[in-house]
Amino acid sequence: MFYNNSILIQLKKKFKKKILRVEGIVKKSEKGFGFLETDSKNSYFIPPKKIKKVMHGDKIVARIGFSKNREIVVPEKLIDSFLKIFIGRLQKINKQLFIIPNYTFLKEYIPCTFLIDKISEFKSGDWFIAKLTKHKLNNDFFHAELIEFIAKKEDPFTPWWITLSKYNLKKTEPKINIENISFLDSKKRLDLTDLSFITIDNNNTKDIDDALFIQKINDNFELIVAISDTTSFVHIKSKLDIIASKRAFTNYLPGFNIPMLPRILSEDLCSLKPNKKRPVLACKMIISQKGKIQKNSNFFLAWIRSKEKLSYKNVSNWLEKKSNWTPSTENIKKQLKFLKKLCISRIKWREKYALIFPERLEYKFHLSANGEVLKISNDKRRIAHKIVEECMISANLTAADILSKKVGFGLYNNHSGFDIYSAQQISLLLKKNNIFITSKEILTLKGFCTLYKILRKKKYKYLNNRIRKFQSFSEFSLIPNPHYALGFKRYATWTSPIRKYGDIINHRFLKSMILDEKPVIIHKNILKKISDQKRKHRLSEREIEDLLYIQYFTKNNFKNEVLKSEIVDILRGGIRAKLLDIGANIFIPNLFIHNIRSELDLNLEDGLISIKKKILYKISDIIYVKIVDVKVDTKSIIAKIISN
């Protein structure tokens, strides 16, 4: 109430000989002025003439002053520039070159020079990575250097290249001369080329890294999971190994993938293509008809020759009796029937002794050659997907047990469930819903599994969503610890060495055990690198998907369609929901929830929206909406509720 009080301002002017300064972050307005926001939540006005010296997001020191009886601040010293290395669009104006940063709140045309050859080839609208070299607060002008070309303006895949550049991810496969690729074989390699191994993948999959063989022995299943022996080509500390360790993963994006390894390896020499003799690391498991993995599992090196590449669709259709397609041989028919029985028994075993979370829809973008979204489909995981998944989980579980017992360490996927504070909160929340599990029990693997077996009941859908927000994230470790989310005492993946560097590491540990060699010690830093790359891949994929959703909704008029959605979060400004048919996130502002804002109560912690103390909506509710607007700048889809 005293912010612009004239008496207070006069008192301040009496002390103007004493110069006062504040430190904070610049927040620019589109109207040509801005504010300096301090850690203490104070906000100081920056006049239009002074705001030109700084950029949105800059951390600065400013001098407090007065103008027209209003307290203002004048930027004086730059502490930290918001722009350092950034992405922007080139603009040529009267033979002068400018770079426009790719940020919603930054509209500056920054003069720039090139560190790139053949400047004449580039034109306005082309994209670059730039480095800010001069700032107005230090040099009276802004200046940048263009250090890397990203994409031409007309390139239809420009959004992909911009996003990958943003997260410092590679845009192409690794480049290496084929002469530098060598195969180092082992003397301890069994010849299993006569066995009828099969692979099951998508039709367009080229990097095939797993093959299966199953047979009945007495009352048990004998399952061999054969995985491409990628480490016979990727030698420790070689150029290929360094490349793979830096990339850490194959990046699967809508439209294409960017492999961790050169395609000559990932899609040819290491790929378990049909009728090609390939080296593998294999795991033989004896599994009872009730789905229990027996203790006499073992790992070994072998040669195999896959007899046929099968597709998820055809296998599922045949097993579910939904098409005329049929496997080419009686042997393969028999194997698929055995694999289905094994899969069902393993699912039942995991439901009883571990955890299986409810299935989620998987959304797929169907793109044209120019990167335009033709349609978006949602695919349920069918029996063939579940067969492969259960075989891989069994093999990974077996690897985790053997590594912990015979090697002593490995690259483990750990998940710690809840921390102590969260467990206490959850226990109180459960008690209110007449579920009595103590915080001490929740912190154990057994208690965690018990909790989620209760929560998977349909009537606890809202409670399940609330509790899931307390869950920790999975992490990598060299020490075996429980994986609560799967319900296992330990878990280590090794079944995708073509696509994951972490699986290459576990291959090396397993091979050292097979060959009775001393295992290679890896530095702990590699765990952080893998985790960082995993996070960047996830963020880049999500960002590109968001861009494609905006393109899809901009191109297609959905404003008259009623769309089924699920509430996933309650925010201060409204509801975040997910369109169930295509997977897009939408935002429903408070204005479209209830027209009298003062009557609307949004409980962010409990995920509830009430009007006059009556609950109107909650997280996990199914609602029906119509699209109101698509905001390209902020990449948001605005909707209003029709009914629930």
Report the catalytic residues. 201, 207, 209-210, 312, 499
CA atoms within 13 Å, Cβ hemisphere of 478: 15
**What's at 360, amino acid-wise?**
R
Other residues' Cβ atoms within 10 Å of the Cβ of residue 351: 14
Q: Which of 458, 455, 459, 424 is nearest to 439 (CA)?
A: 424
Sequence-distant (≥ 6) Cβ neighbours of residue 206 within 8 angstroms? 263, 266, 267, 271
Terminal-to-terminal C-alpha distance of the chain? 43
Cα–Cα distance, 469 to 230 (Å, whole number):
38
- For residue 368, the SS3 value is coil
Element (H, E) at 246: helix 239-247
Largest CA-CA distance found in the chain, in angstroms, rounded: 98
Label residue 612 exposed, middle or buried (CB < 10 Å: 0-12, 13-18, 19+): exposed
DSSP, res 231:
G
Cα–Cα distance, 283 to 226 (Å, whole number):
7
Residues forming a β-bridge with 304: 278
- For residue 120, the SS3 value is helix
Cα–Cα distance, 560 to 38 (Å, whole number):
45
Does the CA dihedral 384-465-484-451 come out positive or negative?
Answer: negative
Q: Which of 267, 214, 261 is nearest to 235 (CA)?
A: 261
Residues forming a β-bridge with 59: 25, 80
Cα–Cα distance, 609 to 622 (Å, whole number):
14
Q: Are 225 and 282 in contact (CB under 8 A)?
A: yes
Cα–Cα distance, 112 to 123 (Å, whole number):
14
Label residue 26 exposed, middle or buried (CB < 10 Å: 0-12, 13-18, 19+): buried
Cα–Cα distance, 219 to 6 (Å, whole number):
92
Q: Are 231 and 244 in contact (CB under 8 A)?
A: no
Cα separation values, 349 from 28, 124, 289, 291, 355, Å: 58, 61, 10, 5, 9
Q: Which of 435, 287, 413, 282 is nearest to 348 (CA)?
A: 287
